[in-house]
């Protein structure tokens, strides 16, 4: 069965510092991988997705993620954190029938 | 273009009461989904539909029923609410994308959520 694991339920960074949110996937076939962001009291918004076209995927708001098959990872990064990045981030994988499997989420706190 | 909408936004029920949550999408998507979100557990799939008139069970279907009578609507029903069903419910939709002769996955678009409390 496909699944993703997010390491760290809470991550705290200072404004301007590097953001690194970790996600490892488990899949027996080349995966579809996604990062979603959820702001308080809102639904999920797509940040970026990997569909095997390129290993480095750029998303909205300056985020990017790199697919590393050897490490079964799809970590999300942003070079410089902004206060508006404070939110909960979800990694997800999907099968060919569009069933999604979400990680447990990582709450990002950005300190001034 | 409203995307995915959900009604109601908030609801409080007493144990044993019933209710229906409505999800509507105006993107002509084939697939629709209902999730529940609980602290520390991410999103868990309750039921989903791959087309009008079809539904299937997800990861946590017990205590819920669904119907997809129209392509744009997906209803989630609780026949006899229990406190364990206190949660935030999200609806999502996506299109069916074909790559050659096979079906492949595509982005899911989410509604704003319904916060349900069962006392």
| pLDDT at position B104 over 80 | no
Q: What is the mean pLDDT of residues B81-85?
A: 96
| pLDDT at position B102 over 70 | no
| pLDDT at position B100 over 70 | no
User: Residues of chain B whose C-beta is under 8 A from some C-beta in A?
Assistant: 4, 31, 33, 35, 40-45, 48, 50, 58, 90, 92, 94, 96, 102-113
Q: What is the mean pLDDT of residues A30-51?
A: 89
A33 min Cα distance to partner chain B (Å): 10
> Reduced to 3 states, what is the DSSP secondary structure of residue B7?
strand
According to the model, what pLDDT value does residue B96 have?
79
Chain A residue numbers touching B106 (CB-CB < 8 A) = 98
Q: Which two three-digit tokens encode residue B41?
A: 């557990």
Across-strand partners of A89? A37, A106
Of B4, B42, B107, the CB nearest to A103: B42
Residue pair A59/A35 in contact by the 8 Å Cβ criterion: yes
Average pLDDT, chain A: 90
| Residue A53 binned pLDDT confidence (cut-offs 50, 70, 90) | confident
> Reduced to 3 states, what is the DSSP secondary structure of residue B93?
strand
| pLDDT at position B28 over 70 | yes
């Amino acid at each position: 069965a496909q699944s993703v694991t997010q390491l760290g339920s809470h991550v705290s960074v200072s404004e301007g510092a590097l953001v690194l949110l970790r996600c490892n996937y488990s899949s027996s076939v080349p995966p579809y991988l996604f990062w979603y962001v959820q702001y308080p009291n809102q639904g999920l918004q797509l940040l970026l997705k990997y569909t095997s076209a390129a290993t480095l995927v750029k998303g909205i708001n300056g985020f990017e993620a790199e697919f590393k098959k050897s490490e079964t990872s799809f970590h999300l990064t942003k070079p410089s954190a902004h206060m508006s990045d404070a939110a909960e981030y979800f990694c997800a994988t999907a099968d060919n029938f569009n069933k999604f499997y979400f990680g447990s989420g990582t709450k990002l706190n950005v300190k001034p | 273009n409203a995307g995915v909408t959900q009604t109601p936004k908030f609801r409080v029920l007493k144990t044993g009461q019933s209710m229906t949550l409505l999800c509507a999408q105006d993107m002509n998507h084939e697939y629709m989904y209902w999730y529940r979100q609980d602290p520390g557990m991410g999103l868990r799939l309750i039921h989903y539909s791959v087309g009008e008139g079809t539904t299937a069970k997800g990861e946590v279907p017990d205590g819920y029923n669904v119907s997809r009578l129209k392509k744009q609507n997906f209803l989630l029903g609780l026949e006899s609410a229990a406190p364990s069903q206190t949660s935030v419910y999200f609806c999502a939709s996506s299109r069916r994308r074909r790559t050659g002769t096979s079906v492949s996955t595509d982005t899911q678009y989410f509604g704003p959520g319904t916060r349900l409390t069962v006392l």
